Structure 1
């Protein structure tokens, strides 16, 4: 799936938003990708996951035993990636502020895991999820996301594949351009505001 086709999926589902957004990374942006909207249609979610799975290196694809994603944003794409790769999918969540497997989810020692996210900006959540997977006995062999907003700046210590890379500028709170500073920031993601 080419970049323009991926963006067409986001536009068709009204998932590409413009305004002033406070991202879960703490940075500000004039653009926000609401992946929950692009993934709310099961056929579209399956198409995107199939395309993302096809982009994974073949040697990585054949080794994956489980897909793990962080809740909340990665749950749907993680499930669809499990389907595309024909492996079980589970998620980590933060009931007390730190990612952990719950709900009876468990990894066998040495399970080779694909970490799947919806959007990666700084990679902080992904690194926290990787630590939780490793604490649970899994071995993360690759990471994947629908969208890489990092500008190529993330390093998870494993191969990272994104369906599309978008480089919308992001800003620290004390370095906002005037047009963003003039608008109140909204936080449309799944985490509550600080």
Structure 2
């Protein structure tokens, strides 16, 4: 019977210890300081660029065969610029409407400085093309500031080179696109 009493005592000691631990632990949790932290975020539209007026050299009338050299047609990068032949390109006649391209930048900050980047050259057809353009922008690759609304525009012009020795298969409509990139941290 003594063993039975000792076992009961051990059980009571273990149960009492467990109860004391639970009570002590719950008191420690009850005293833990807590506070709420506000979490905030603001979504703002990213700077965008839209190019909604194409760089268009119009219709170029050129003889078939060997002309002796390449010919160059140029459009200045300005609001009312039109195609014109470059000195020495008397083999080309211009017809139809031509215009510089135009891109509008928005979503910037008031007075933010940006810079436009253009490719060095663009072929107007994949692979062998009789036409290539060296584009230029009206800001001449220099930094410029956006207006008070965080907006600005840039005109795209360039020199179109017409290769020599055209065949009858070269006479068609040509169209491609060039990437106008805005560096908002020039």
Give the TM-score, by structure 2 length.
Answer: 0.23
Higher helix proportion (structure 1 or 2): 1
Q: What TM-score comes out, normalization by structure 1 length?
A: 0.22
